[in-house]
Structure 1
Amino acid sequence: MKIERSSEWEEGFINKLDHLEKWDSWTLYKMNYDIVKMKLITDFTGLQATKYLPNLKPLTHQLEAAETVIERMNGKAILADEVGLGKTIEAGLILKEYLIRGLVKRALILAPASLINQWIEELNIKFHIPAIAYKKNVPIERYDVLIMSMDTAKKSPHKERIYEQDYDMIIIDEAHKLKNHKTQIYEFVQSLKKKFCLLLTATPIQNDVFELFYLISLLKPGHLGNYDTFQSAFSASKHDLEHNDYLKELVNQVMVRNRREDTGIEWTNRRVQIVPIQFTKEEAEVYDLLGTLQNTGSFSLITLRKEMCSSKEATALTLSKMLEEDNAQSQEVEAILAKLMALEVNSKANKTLEIIEQAQDKVIIFTEYRATQIYLQWYLHSKGITSVLFNGKFNKNKRDYMKHLFKEKAQVLIATEAGGEGINLQFCHHVINYDLPWNPMKLEQRIGRVHRLGQEHDVHIYNLAIANTIEENILALLHTKIDVFEKVVGDLDAILSNFKESV
């Protein structure tokens, strides 16, 4: 390569001499000086991003979380604030900071499909980051910030397209959905280059302590040792472990967790109670008969018992499918089905109606079964109570419309688990957990739909549980899992109330 000395300056120099022009422009110099000074970041402490975000007024805990991740965790962290404290804002601040500093040019954000539009809106409007949603025909190599659904990302040919790109930062929302090394989405994320990586989840332990091990291993392989070392060092089993103080110390090196009570914000109270219910004699008889089935085919007895605690409609669907499988006990199944359909009372639905009438206000009901959801809407309608449905089969427009109808027209929203994330309903402050999940963090997610920033009233939570059924076992296991979570991650707001006092 040939380097030559430029002589272009001579022409300008001689021109200024001949015409007595000004040697410089103070205005241009000052403008140039200000631009260079603005770009110059002399210290890697403190956030520069806030200077460029006029539409955002981050809260103190959000700023501190972003600073902690950048200054102490080198951009690899679990953001585990309680539901409703603004983990998306924290992630946006961190991403903006790295973009300003020139350390990140391209970023990939993975989120549940229901949250993609929310991410696009937040990044574009609040952070002035031009993010787009992934589509099959979009030339993704031309865009620096891409938002993609988890379900799409893990499948071909989409994952291969992403592997061809070179992203500096990976952000994963609702990161607990990664679960462990056996899931497709975990394998996909594990294969990505991760210069910087943020995992967002209020519930880093969902069912067992190993889920947290796998999340941390994605961020910093070896931080907790390998699986066998971790299991041995902490005597870890699914729902128990030792040396939890030391483990918590290690976890806190890669995790930021803010609780509502630590934010300095005045929060409304969370009033939680377990509502005990007694089956009628006829309901209890059918429940006991289900336990006599020796062969339930591809359906578990646990599932049948849970469905019976929900509605005869949900139970009947499963029993009918068992008959279609040519079950060896078809006569017994048919006899149970006949007794089931003869039931005239649903004790849990009656209690739900009682709570709604006492509340005299908007109420959200969470059930695990669509058959129960439809039954409850019919039942409430027969009692003169307006309701709308909300489930995972609805597209975004329908979900938004249902939320609008609930706010403006209906008294009750009946949601399946899909309503437990990605929808904010601060205008409501009564939640009925009609069916209890095995996972306590699902309860926290449900409650977090209403008990979040912007809630102006005390929130009332009703956990329904039928005595002498599998729901008593679920309650006991929920308490065990909550205990493990609090040992390793930290205290939780009330989500159950005291089991022994209530049932």
Structure 2
Amino acid sequence: MPEPAPAFAVGQRWLSETQPELGLGMVEAVEHRRVTVLFPATGERRTYAADNTPLWRAQLATGELLRDLDGQDLTVVDHLEHNGFITYLVRDTTGHEQLLPETRIDPRLRLSRPQQRLRAGRLDSDTWFRLRVQALDQTAQLATAPARGLLGARISPIPHQLHIAAEVADRHHPRVLLADEVGLGKTIEAGLILHRLLLAGRVRRVLILVPEPLLHQWLVELLRRFNLRFALFDRTRVSALKQGADAPNPFESEQHILCSLDLLTSDPSLADAALHAGWDLLICDEAHHLEWSPKASSPAYDLVAALAAITPAVLLLTATPEQLGRAGHFGRLRLLDPERFGDYQAFLDEEQGYAPVAELVSRLLDETPLTTEEQARLEALLDDADGMTDAETAESAPRRQPLDAQSDRQAIIEQLLDRHGTGRVLFRNTRAAISGFPERELHPARLESSVSESDDTTETEADPLDALWSAIENVDRLDNDPRLDWLITQLRTLAPAKVLLITATAETVLDLRRALLERAGIQAAVFHEGMPIVERDRAAAFFADPEEGTQILLCSEIGSEGRNFQFAHHLVLFDLPADPELLEQRIGRLDRIGQTETIRIHVPYRADTADETLFRWYHEGLDAFSAHQPAAPAIFWEQRETLQALLADPTPEAGEVEALITEAKALRLRLDAELAAGRDRLLELSSHRPVRGAALVEALAAEDHDPTTETFLTGLWDAFGVERELGPGGSLVVRPGAHMLQERFPELPDEGITATFSRKHALAHEDRRFLTREHPMTRAALELMTGSHMGTSAIILTQDPRFASSALLLEAVYVAECPAPPILNAQRFLPPTARRMLIDEEGKERSAEIDINALGGKCLRSRRPLARALIKAKSKVIEAMVALAEQEAARESRALREQAGRLMRDQLDQELARLQALARRNPAVRPAEIEALAAERDALAETLANSRLRLDALRLIAFA
């Protein structure tokens, strides 16, 4: 006969059987067969079905300890239950007794139940006990891992990406622009930051805005690389959610949402809904499309500005931060901190001061001895960074030790990078500073054109860029275009090598597909803006298939942004874009960090046309095909009008073209020198800290070689009844067993999974789950163990010559506990480490002299009569041993609180002092960041003061 449903009443105190870390809950509402419980210790609210809850009534037994809302420690003497509510008779430390209603109990209370389960003979197997201890150890290791949040990503450990992710995610409400050059992994950096923030509990509600063509790519990458599931909000889904006049805000239906920015700007009501949904983190990709100038801004910019103004954390991504000039770049920084970046001219003036700092940093990096003048300038920069007045500097001079720029080089560099420039707001790594990129190899083809000069002439249109495009496009005459015959020949020559072709328009893509099929019988996959997103993804996957896929993928310009085709090594630029940053975007689809082959760039151009002029300007003037050229955007905006005029002229003077190219080359050399000496050099240095990045790479390598996660999961699968067998290439095939302990194992679908514990194999085989300590299955398995009663009480019978027959040892497992809101991340100072005590019958703690892990024997769970007889015969001894363990735990708890508090203050006080000093010199440090850190320190001090060691499990070892 099933047990009757529990009777809930508002105000009662209940505990979660599956999530004891929530603390003591209070019933807030009971309605429609549902009960809502508030857990004040963590600020979380949960709703359960009243007839099937994982809750149990919080009822303390005589002798148990508790704390009231005033922080007073009390002992239960007796209790009285009336109308469903409990009132306790308690005794304080002075012996005074009083009545305490259950509503006055400190909500951070967690009842220790292992002793009651042991006393009642509710035993678990020794296997479950050992698995529980392993789970506790795993949880503690994860809480304190320096690379937490970075361990579980399916990525190659690349130092600059890991450094940026850790640096940004560890800030309070980070607001930064990720602007690494094409191919350096901005999307991976954003995913790592997001993953680390989510695991630390610093963010919950996340909105990601991307261009519509990149929606599915982001969706797949978030799931494939980071195991993050996002709800895709497209027009179909939003329309369904908006049905009815009283429909709720669609953006409140999910915690993690991926959406097209175009969708919001095209629907004011939807944009308003997004603005009122409340977000912890906003991520906006391809932020160079957000147009701003001192005189005007685009609707997309205005919407992102409104969202950024009310969202604590913001990440903007762009590979081309200055595509719209310095004003557009300033506009994007303004989204992050409108107070810091409020005056455009002041911003330009400030940047002029970065050059001397960059020069000093460069000399320190090169280990060049400083002159007396440079030493004095360095002293002045560091003094000024400390925020001292001239009088304070003079007063402190006699006491100050002279700087040793050589021996203290790394520390001084760190200080200078910290205190000067935009490094706290903007991260931009360049190819010049990062190794691992392939060589580029240009293969130009000068083709005689069959198009007459009159055919190649177009009228100037309203937008000069449109005129430029028209001047170099002959879509309607593709059949007479010599580039087509050249392309057919190249494909046959290069077969079976994969070839990516990018052109400006979808019309050219469709004409090329038709022409290749009709003339040469070549099947081509196509990718353009007129296709549904799902069809584009299928085309990209068809191209990527090494056996059945097409040799060539024809892309319109949307293939230049966001997509990664680095498995191919041949790129055909059927036409050349007007903007050099767009050209770099195209090349960057193949030329990415991790690419293993030389990139062959094929450029067919028609002789004596605008094609040739543009090709020569790129090749001879900018040298844009051999390497990324950071000065190219500035040169383009300098020469834009002249270039446009020459491209629109059917018969430009040869001297004019030569002058344009000569000027471009001279500008490039001059700007390269300026960029190397000034602002960008400083930014490059602050964006990539090799020492920090290398330390994180080592941490990931150590994690990859640590077998404990595999040992824990495979042991848990076996105990749970999950089936596993070896799969291809050293993988594991894991599937639900026919006789599992419960109906489902966490994160294991009915059809099973193919998995690997190897990063190398996971990177080579994307269809395999990469099981790490941070994988959702592992984390759910840890919660399954630590959040339930499994393994909390066990008895084993063993023999050991050191102990007489009938002797007893009691292993008491305690866990450091600190109920706190997840956002405080208190576990980094007080991890839930398992403290294993070993108490003998004389009350001695013997874990230091006896190897606990070596204690094994026959589990008595299957011999319950013998176990119960043993417990009954030794009940008083067992109670005394438990009491002694509790006394020892109380003593250690005090030391643990002091140690955790000291560690917290040392770390946060130091960081707070650093930020306060930086704020006096570097306005990129926001006051809100300092205030948040100070508030966190104060909240942690109070929380850690209430921490303790909680009894989690007991194992009785009886000797025969």
Q: TM tier, shorter chain?
A: 0.7 to 0.9
Which residue in 1 is equivalent to 2:455?
286
Q: Which amino acid aligns with 1:431?
A: L
Contact 2:278 2:311 in 1 (8 A): no
Q: Deviations over 1:172-217 (max 9, x none)?
A: 1222222326211111110111311111222222242222111111
Q: Deviations over 1:358-386 (max 9, x none)?
A: 43433222111333223323333313433
1:252 aligns with 2:446: no
**1:348–1:247: structure 2 CA closer, same or farther, 3 Å change rule?**
farther
Q: Deviations over 1:282-331 (max 9, x none)?
A: 523433xx36x6xx6x6668746643533250xxxxxxxxxxxxxxxxxx
1:346 aligns with 2:446: no
- How far apart, CA to CA, are the structure 1 residues paired with 2:115 and 2:582? 72
- How far apart, CA to CA, are the structure 2 residues paired with 1:177 and 1:38? 44
> Which one has a bigger Cα radius of gyration?
2
> Of residues 450, 455, 472 in structure 2, which corresponds to 1:309?
472
User: How far apart are residue 79 of structure 1 and its match?
Assistant: 1.7
Which residue in 2 is equivalent to 1:114?
213
Q: Which amino acid aligns with 2:516?
A: L
- How far apart, CA to CA, are the structure 2 residues paired with 1:300 and 1:308? 13
Which residue in 2 is equivalent to 1:406?
543
1:200 aligns with 2:340: no
Q: Deviations over 1:358-416 (max 9, x none)?
A: 43433222111333223323333313433232201111232133224434343322211
Taking every aligned residue pair, what percent have the same amino acid on both sides? 27
- How far apart, CA to CA, are the structure 2 residues paired with 1:244 and 1:436? 35
- How far apart, CA to CA, are the structure 2 residues paired with 1:430 and 1:56? 24
- How far apart, CA to CA, are the structure 2 residues paired with 1:23 and 1:303? 79
Total equivalences in the alignment: 438
Which residue in 2 is equivalent to 1:359?
494
**1:99–1:8: structure 2 CA closer, same or farther, 3 Å change rule?**
same
User: How far apart are residue 105 of structure 1 and its match?
Assistant: 2.3
- How far apart, CA to CA, are the structure 1 residues paired with 2:616 and 2:353? 26
Contact 1:377 1:387 in 2 (8 A): yes
- How far apart, CA to CA, are the structure 2 residues paired with 1:41 and 1:385? 55
1:152 aligns with 2:292: no
**1:243–1:413: structure 2 CA closer, same or farther, 3 Å change rule?**
farther
- How far apart, CA to CA, are the structure 1 residues paired with 2:506 and 2:580? 21
- How far apart, CA to CA, are the structure 1 residues paired with 2:117 and 2:554? 72
- What is the RMSD computed on CA atoms of the aligned residues? 4.2
> Of residues 236, 253, 277 in structure 2, which corresponds to 1:165?
277
> Of residues 614, 632, 656 in structure 2, which corresponds to 1:481?
632
> Of residues 287, 300, 303 in structure 2, which corresponds to 1:175?
287
- How far apart, CA to CA, are the structure 2 residues paired with 1:37 and 1:301? 60
Which residue in 2 is equivalent to 1:69?
168
**1:373–1:9: structure 2 CA closer, same or farther, 3 Å change rule?**
same
**1:212–1:247: structure 2 CA closer, same or farther, 3 Å change rule?**
farther
User: How far apart are residue 253 of structure 1 and its match?
Assistant: 3.3
- How far apart, CA to CA, are the structure 1 residues paired with 2:135 and 2:321? 47
- How far apart, CA to CA, are the structure 1 residues paired with 2:264 and 2:189? 23
User: How far apart are residue 60 of structure 1 and its match?
Assistant: 2.9
Q: Deviations over 1:432-490 (max 9, x none)?
A: 11221122222222222222355332111124444554442586489463456963657
Which residue in 1 is equivalent to 2:343?
226
User: How far apart are residue 25 of structure 1 and its match?
Assistant: 7.2
Which residue in 2 is equivalent to 1:325?
none
User: How far apart are residue 9 of structure 1 and its match?
Assistant: 4.5
**Which ranges in structure 1 are unaligned for 5 or more consecutive residues?**
16-20, 235-241, 314-340, 493-503
Q: Which secondary structure does the structure 2 equivalent of 1:388 belong to?
A: strand
Contact 1:73 1:253 in 2 (8 A): no
Q: Which amino acid aligns with 2:282?
A: I
1:432 aligns with 2:581: no
- How far apart, CA to CA, are the structure 2 residues paired with 1:284 and 1:417? 26
Q: Which amino acid aligns with 2:470?
A: E
User: How far apart are residue 160 of structure 1 and its match?
Assistant: 0.7
- The answer to which of 119-128 and 57-66 deviates more is 119-128
**1:371–1:457: structure 2 CA closer, same or farther, 3 Å change rule?**
same
- How far apart, CA to CA, are the structure 2 residues paired with 1:74 and 1:246? 31
**What are the within-5 Å matches in structure 2 for residues 262-281 of structure 1?**
262-263=433-434, 265=436, 267-272=437-442, 274-280=444-450
Q: Which amino acid aligns with 2:438?
A: T
**1:366–1:117: structure 2 CA closer, same or farther, 3 Å change rule?**
closer
User: How far apart are residue 348 of structure 1 and its match?
Assistant: 3.5
User: How far apart are residue 429 of structure 1 and its match?
Assistant: 1.2
**1:71–1:247: structure 2 CA closer, same or farther, 3 Å change rule?**
farther
- The answer to which of 167-176 and 461-470 deviates more is 461-470
**1:465–1:246: structure 2 CA closer, same or farther, 3 Å change rule?**
farther
Contact 1:387 1:410 in 2 (8 A): yes
**What are the within-5 Å matches in structure 2 for residues 463-474 of structure 1?**
463-466=603-606, 468-471=608-611, 472=613
Contact 1:450 1:459 in 2 (8 A): yes
Contact 1:392 1:419 in 2 (8 A): no
1:188 aligns with 2:300: no
Larger proportion of strand: 2
Q: Which secondary structure does the structure 2 equivalent of 1:197 belong to?
A: strand
User: How far apart are residue 118 of structure 1 and its match?
Assistant: 3.1
**Which ranges in structure 2 are unaligned for 5 or more consecutive residues?**
1-10, 12-57, 65-75, 79-113, 120-128, 242-249, 359-419, 623-630, 636-670, 685-960
User: How far apart are residue 165 of structure 1 and its match?
Assistant: 1.6
Which residue in 2 is equivalent to 1:335?
none
User: How far apart are residue 111 of structure 1 and its match?
Assistant: 1.2
Contact 2:506 2:529 in 1 (8 A): no
User: How far apart are residue 132 of structure 1 and its match?
Assistant: 1.4
**1:377–1:122: structure 2 CA closer, same or farther, 3 Å change rule?**
closer
- How far apart, CA to CA, are the structure 2 residues paired with 1:284 and 1:110? 45
**What are the within-5 Å matches in structure 2 for residues 29-44 of structure 1?**
34=136, 38=140
Q: Deviations over 1:106-125 (max 9, x none)?
A: 11111122322333334345
User: How far apart are residue 261 of structure 1 and its match?
Assistant: 6.2
